[in-house]
A = this chain, B = another copy of it.
Amino acid sequence: MSAAMDAPIHASAPNLEDLQTIIRDYLHEERFEKVRTLLDTMHPAEIAALMTGLGSTERHYVFDMTSEEVQHDVLIELEEPDQERLLDRLEDERIIEILHNLESDDATDVVALLDEPTRERVLQASEQKDREELEELLAYEEDTAGGLMALEVVTVFENKTVHDGIEMVRTAKEHGHEDIHYIYVIDRNKTLKGRIAIIDLMLAPRSQSVLEILDDEMIVIQRDTDQEEVAQIFSRYDLIAAPVVDEDYCLIGRITIDDIVDVMAEEAEEDIAKMAGTGEETVSERNLLITIRARLPWLILALFGEMGGAFVLSQFEESLTTLIVIAFFIPTIIALAGNVGIQCSTIVVRGLATGDIHSNRMFRRVGREVVVASVNGLILSILLMLVVYLWKGDWVIGIAISLSLISVVIVSALVGSLTPFLLKKMNQDPALAAGPFITMTNDVVGLTIYLLITSSMLS
């Protein structure tokens, strides 16, 4: 039994931090042979995870000491900013070799990271087959099925036998193709006729025609389908691989579940980034300027949006000066308007993204959110009224503030649940409604309602 098997893999996360310390020490003491030996026992994905936690000099040392046979696998497991930095340091020859060793979809992702002149040089110097594949895949939009797919598919003509199919698989495997789950049956025009799972190929008599055992009810992806939709299809139908076709139903590639897992993580990350107002920033971003630039627009938006709040307050200067207690509850009103708005908008945004909420059921959904907010608003208002009474000993102030709270909560629910639907109808990303934008709107609207009600009731 191998070492990798003896070590319980479920403990890999803590082990990695220990490994980092060990490697850092070895590097410091210049015991490079030790580092090499250690890296040779590790999975490429583990090396990549290890590198993520290291400083940039150490990271480059580790990559250089990784066996050349797995460097391409390590590179592809790194986060984009780290990939870019590594590629910057590599010579053209090394990049060409790495591209040659990668499957076509991964190679395309790497080429896309190269700066224009390097990309030109590398493509020119690559083998003709590699270059043609890369140019074909680079032509697709990155976030479509075409941009996700690999060109490595095992195909067999419709007049062939199971035996022929098995030999095609054998050849593909000898050429280093990975993740072969199906072979695809095509006619002379490359039109897709169906697929055969490897397991069915194995269990069928070798002399049988492939046409007799093919599955023609498989799910097929069009090459221009958006990657989020591809992920939804994979998830809905529990797929591990799917063929990609062009307009003429010709087979042009295939997508595998490992790419979809990455897409799902990416899409969740994007939604969360929109909620947090962190823009395109990735978790592993190392460049401070990129981080600053990603976050600043949201903050400036908030700054100018809240100037609206300052303006609203200035309009009620007199009420505020004569009854300063109104100002005390500004943070409370704003916080609850914000929270209720985000609760409603987030649920609607998620539902629209997963397909659990249909855009033609807008009124029903908004109505539901308003009902929920009304009940919660009522409970909060009663609590707030009691607190204000206990503190200030004045029922009228308590009632005025509570009454405005429940109004603000209901309006926030309305704005929060309606906005994602409206953005979707205007072909904008509904997720924009789940972040700083909705909070800001609700702040200003909420403040206005609050000041109108309290100042008119208490003056």
Binding site for B on A (CB under 8 A): 1-2, 4-5, 8-10, 12-13, 16-17, 20, 43, 45-46, 49, 52-53, 77, 79, 145, 166, 169-170, 173, 180, 193, 198-199, 201-203, 216-222, 225, 229, 232-238, 240, 257-258, 260-262, 264-265, 268-269, 271-273, 275-278, 281, 283-284, 288, 291-292, 295-296, 298-300, 302-303, 305-307, 309-310, 313-314, 317, 320-321, 324-325, 327-332, 334-336, 338-340, 342-343, 346-347, 350-351, 354-358, 360-361, 368, 371-372, 375-376, 379-380, 383-384, 387, 434, 436, 439-440, 443-444, 447
Contact = CB atoms under 8 A, between A and B. Distances in A.
A220 B8 contact: yes
Given A45-B237, A199-B198, A202-B166, A303 B383 contact: yes
Contact of A10 (B225, B335, B384): B225
A305 B321 CA distance: 25
Given A275-B342, A276-B347, 14 more contacts: A1-B193, A5-B217, A13-B229, A43-B237, A77-B236, A170-B203, A260-B261, A288-B375, A291-B368, A295-B376, A303-B380, A306-B332, A309-B331, A335-B439
B8 A222 contact: yes
Contacts of A16: 355
A275 B275 contact: yes
A303 B339 CA distance: 10
A278 to B, nearest CB: 5
29 contacts: A9-B219, A9-B220, A9-B221, A13-B229, A20-B358, A45-B236, A53-B358, A53-B361, A77-B236, A166-B202, A238-B258, A240-B240, A257-B261, A264-B264, A264-B268, A268-B272, A276-B342, A276-B346, A276-B434, A277-B342, A278-B343, A288-B372, A299-B376, A300-B379, A300-B380, A310-B332, A314-B328, A321-B324, A331-B443
Contacts of A9: 219-221, 233
B299 A313 contact: no
A167 to B, nearest CB: 10
Contacts of A5: 216-218, 220
Contacts of A269: 350
A306 to B, nearest CB: 4
A62 to B, nearest CB: 15
Nearest to A361: B53
Determine the main DSSP class of A at the interface with B: helix
Contacts of A240: 240, 257-258
A77 B232 CA distance: 13
A84 to B, nearest CB: 16
Nearest to A301: B339
B198 A336 contact: no
A199 B166 CA distance: 9
A45 B134 CA distance: 35
Contacts of A360: 17
A220 B12 CA distance: 11
Nearest to A193: B1
A4 B271 CA distance: 32
A382 to B, nearest CB: 11
A293 B375 CA distance: 10
Nearest to A282: B356
A163 to B, nearest CB: 11
Contact of A303 (B300, B336, B372): B336
Contact of A277 (B229, B309, B339, B380): B339
Contact of A284 (B281, B356, B361): B356
Contacts of A334: 331, 334-335
Contacts of A262: 235
Contacts of A356: 52, 79, 283-284
A302 B53 contact: no
Given A9-B221, A300-B380, A342-B277, A331 B317 contact: no
Contacts of A303: 332, 335-336, 380, 383-384
